[in-house]
Amino acid sequence: MKQNRIFAFLTALALGAALTGCGNTSASNVSSSTDGKKIIKIAYLPITHALPVFEAAEELKASDDALQVELVKYGSWPELLDALNTGRVDGASVLIELAMKSRQEGIGIKAVALGHKDGNVIVTNDSVQNAEDLKGKTFAIPHRQSSHNILLNDALAQAGLTVDDVNVTELSPPEMPSALASGQIDGYCVAEPFGAKAVTLNAGHVLYSSEELWPDSLCCGLVLTDDFIENRSEDASYFVQSYKEAGKNLTPAKAKEIALEYLQQDDAVLDLSLKWIRYDDLEITADTYQVLFDKVKEYGLSDNPPTYEEFVKNDF
Ligand code: ZN
């Protein structure tokens, strides 16, 4: 229960910081580079889950398109969320539960596509060989508002357990592989490639893949600000279509090339990580969103998440 209070505090802190600057700034004014191109600013974290954003940016750049993507890198979800919620960027590739929470708090954003399909694993050390073994163990997630938290709940439910049976802690993604290797934690679930990293280092093994626990799971989403969608509707539509096309173009070879360029991780880590993920269909359907909506409520991430109609824009 103590852990839940810490979660609530951190969430309130992140949202409070985000709300402070709401409405003061706007990224919707078309910022032009010297050659007169239109720019869309997209925030991201360097993870395997954000590859379609990188690929879309590369494709638009290579084709010398009138619309260019300015990628804005962040080191943590709270920092990225602060930029998104205060309008310093036009959109972001972000954990969908964090975006739902922002929308619930009144921030004007819409989810317009998925970041990926599948692509999460629960990694544990040798002391955890099945869901029952999680009882009493220390388990890390990146944020309470995440599909990683939902997947932990799903795994525990397999053994009739809940998060009250586990010591849940929040760590930043890059810290998790070494925390597992040192015995500080017994397992974790987080955006890739940090699950693959522990496996590659022989610090842990895959207890569950996301598809085993939650078929067609949602995790990251591409979100755009309402400001951008309303004031630059043609650019928004063009970008979302380019983004979904970029996802289809991410063949294994192409995905590897882009991942090497943007993620600065070893070959072996990326090869394993990319086996677990796909990008070919990035539509957010009402059915798959409803499953997420129900899990968010069931596992206590939020009592009042936004509905599909309130939060998802699927008609570009
Ligand atoms: Zn994700």
Q: What is the pLDDT of residues 100-159, one digit of tens each?
A: 999 999 999 999 999 999 999 999 999 999 999 999 999 999 999 999 999 999 999 999
Are 249 and 59 in contact by the 8 Å Cβ rule? The answer is: yes
Yes or no: say if 166 and 134 are a contact pair by the CB < 8 Å rule: yes
Give residues with Cβ within 8 angstroms of 98, minimum separation 6: 77, 81, 143, 145, 146
Q: Do residues 147 and 231 both lie within one domain?
A: no
Ligand 1 centroid–CA 200 distance in Å is 20
According to DSSP, the β-strands at 277-278 and 117-118 are: antiparallel
- Domain housing 285: 30-118+219-311
147-178: pLDDT as tens digits = 999 999 999 999 999 999 999 999 989 999 99
Q: How confident is the model at residue 6 (pLDDT cuts 50, 70, 90)?
A: very low
Average pLDDT, the chain: 91
Angle at 126 between CA 159 and CA 208, to 5 degrees: 45
Which pTM does this prediction carry? 0.89
Of 22-36, 76-90, 189-203, 257-271, least confident by mean pLDDT is 22-36
Instruction: Please tell me the distance between residue 33's alpha carbon and the centre of ligand 1 in angstroms.
Output: 31
Cα Dmax for the chain: 60
Surrounding ion ligand 1 within 5 Å at CB are 49, 219-220
Q: Which of 22-36, 206-220, 254-268 has the lowest mean pLDDT?
A: 22-36
pLDDT the model gives residue 31: 53
Q: Nearest to residue 86, comparing CAs of 176, 6, 179, 20?
A: 20
Domain boundary among 213, 239, 255: 213
Asked which of 192, 213, 234 is the last residue of a domain, the reply is 213
**Statement: residue 32 has pLDDT above 70:** no
CATH number at residue 35: 3.40.190.10
Task: Give me the pLDDT at residue 36, please.
Answer: 83
3-state secondary structure of 243: helix
**Ligand 1 centroid – CA 96 distance (Å):** 8
In a domain, 24, yes or no: no
What is the Å distance from ligand 1's center to 37 Cα? 30
Is residue 22 domain-resident?
no
